[in-house]
Amino acid sequence: MTETAAPGSRANVPAISEIDKRNIVVGALISMLLAALDQTIVAPALPTIGATLGDPEWLSWVISAYFLTATAVTPLYGKLADIRGRRPVLFAAVGIFLAASVVCALAPNMGVLIAGRALQGLGGGGLIALAQTIIGDVVPPRERPRYVTYITGVWATASLAGPVVGGLFAQHIHWSLIFWINLPLGAVALFLSERTLRKLPRVQRNHQLDWPGSLMVVGATVMLMLALTLGGHRLAWLSAGTVGLLLGAAALAGLFLWHQTRAAEPLIPPRVMRNPVIAPMTLGLFFAMASSIGLSVYFPVYLELVEGMGPANAGFALVVYLGGTVAGANLSGRVIARVERYEWVAIVGGLVAAAALFGLAAGAGLLPFWAVELAVGIAGMGTGTLFPVGTISVQNAAEPRDLGVATASMSFLRTLGSVVGVTVLGAILTGTGVVAEIGEGARHAAVDPAVAARAVDSFRWVFLVAAIAQTIAVAILSRAEHRPLRGNTASTPGPAAGPE
């Protein structure tokens, strides 16, 4: 990779005023909010969408399609922004996202909705990465801790407001509003950023984009998703179609790993993944995200089928889990700088989350509603501790030249874990026949005892698999090599200073 001054280099650009800086940051945060909301607002509306569009066995793809394409393109956006500049790439991402939102809102059937969500992911994959990059462009290092608080606030807002708004729209107005709401938010982001982003300094970096690697990831994951969706439902598990899809996924995954050792700028550089801290931390986060996102998507379905809740109340109830995740992340971030073996914060949190999920698996259908909410809140809080520890550990262990690519690789595997988690847990519901009841459950307020009984049996497996995924995450994280935080000593705990 080479670096040259571009026509808009720092020397040729006037200083950015505080008003312009504020507008740039606000526009970037709204762009980030667009992507963050679409990870939480859809879940409570899934039963209603299944009842309206039909084909409920494909509901997991409404979530997975978004994460899948976002996973594939996220590592490419940073390089595109270096090549083309922040403003045109951000505008392209927002434009793709908003156009896809219209496709989703107008979708006449499940196939079009899934295609729209995949297109949304192509835009949404860049919004978060570009927003963080743009904030880094205009905010000097000594001021960034304050802006990290703003970023955390955006995610907290999306985590708490998304399920509530999505449930209210689905139950009282129309599910399509969860996509129409993106249009005014996107317009505000573009309005605030259009003029001010022209003032950003630009340094030209010549990257090589790993398009083949991205396509291999998409191909392998789609084959795995198809096998899990169709297997045991439309195709027998040992049928030629299912086995062929699984073998194709394995072959493409192997080809991807081989390609990463030869690409000029691979999606996941092998030298980074050989690091004794980065490898276990990113792999552990893969399993943690599979459990966390999968549970957040399907827990509202449990509430609607077993507890008889409507989408609005299910959305309010999901806030307990997502709020617990935010609280756990906040607690973890505060504790990390005060303890020497900071990785144990995540290990203990993960064990607590796994215990709560095992409890849910054993008590599904038996526990009163308040106990279920308490258990998912504890699970969310325990899971939340893993994410700050993972991010800080990876960035602390990475060499300065690999800081960006190590962080991107971690984000890549976290998002891929989300895709796999949603697909696997959805396959459990499909395989046990409960997914066919989702549409009917959305049409009736009263609990059907027969449907509730089948749902309880299925969700015992869902909670159990989520608990096992958390346990695997903890086991892998415990293998990470301990490295003191840079800027700290064992005898003098203090705020962690990241590499600059």
Q: What is the mean pLDDT of residues 40-56?
A: 77
What is the reported pTM? 0.73
CATH superfamily for 268-489 is MFS general substrate transporter like domains (1.20.1250.20)
How much of the chain, in percent, has pLDDT values that exceed 70?
77
Window from 194-203, 258-267, 328-337, 491-500 with minimum mean pLDDT: 491-500
Which DSSP helix (H) or strand (E) runs through 5?
strand 2-5
Window from 217-226, 256-265, 382-391 with minimum mean pLDDT: 217-226
First to last CA, the chain: 19
State which amino acid sits at residue 452. Answer: A
The single-letter DSSP state of residue 445 is S
403 or 480, greater pLDDT:
480
List C-alpha distances in Å: 119 to 69, 116, 174, 317, 368. Answer: 7, 5, 22, 30, 41
Report the mean per-residue pLDDT for the chain.
76
According to the model, what pLDDT value does residue 202 have?
58
Window from 56-60, 90-94, 177-181 with minimum mean pLDDT: 56-60
According to the model, what pLDDT value does residue 14 have?
47
Q: Residue 221: which of 474, 415, 58, 364 has the closest Cα?
A: 415
Q: pLDDT-based confidence at 49, cuts 50/70/90?
A: confident
Main-chain phi, psi angles of 231, to 5 degrees = -65, 135
Q: What is the CA radius of gyration of the chain?
A: 22
Neighbour-count burial of 350, counting CB atoms closer than 10 A to its CB (0-12 exposed, 13-18 middle, 19+ buried): buried
Highest mean pLDDT among 54-68, 163-177, 455-469: 455-469
Q: What is the mean pLDDT of residues 349-366?
A: 91
470 or 403, greater pLDDT:
470
Q: What is the mean pLDDT of residues 152-164?
A: 75
Please count the residues of the chain.
500
According to the model, what pLDDT value does residue 374 have?
93
Q: Residue 323: which of 296, 303, 349 has the closest Cα?
A: 296
Q: Which residue has the tokens 């297997």?
A: 231
Alpha-carbon gap, residue 23 to 28, rounded angstroms: 8
According to the model, what pLDDT value does residue 377 have?
92
List C-alpha distances in Å: 484 to 333, 338, 343, 385, 410. Answer: 16, 12, 10, 18, 20
CATH architecture under which domain 1-209 falls: Up-down Bundle (1.20)
441-483 pLDDT, tens digit per residue, is: 444 445 567 777 878 888 898 899 999 999 999 999 888 888 7
DSSP secondary structure of 171-209: HHS-TTHHHHTHHHHHHHHHHHHHTGGGGS--EEEE---
Q: Which residue has the tokens 């312009």?
A: 20
According to the model, what pLDDT value does residue 45 have?
80
133-146 pLDDT, tens digit per residue, is: 676 666 654 555 45
According to the model, what pLDDT value does residue 468 have?
94
Window from 15-29, 82-96, 304-318, 348-362 with minimum mean pLDDT: 15-29
175 or 74, greater pLDDT:
175
According to the model, what pLDDT value does residue 437 have?
57
The single-letter DSSP state of residue 42 is S
Residue 367: is its pLDDT beyond 50?
A: yes
The single-letter DSSP state of residue 265 is S
Residue 84: is its pLDDT beyond 60?
A: yes
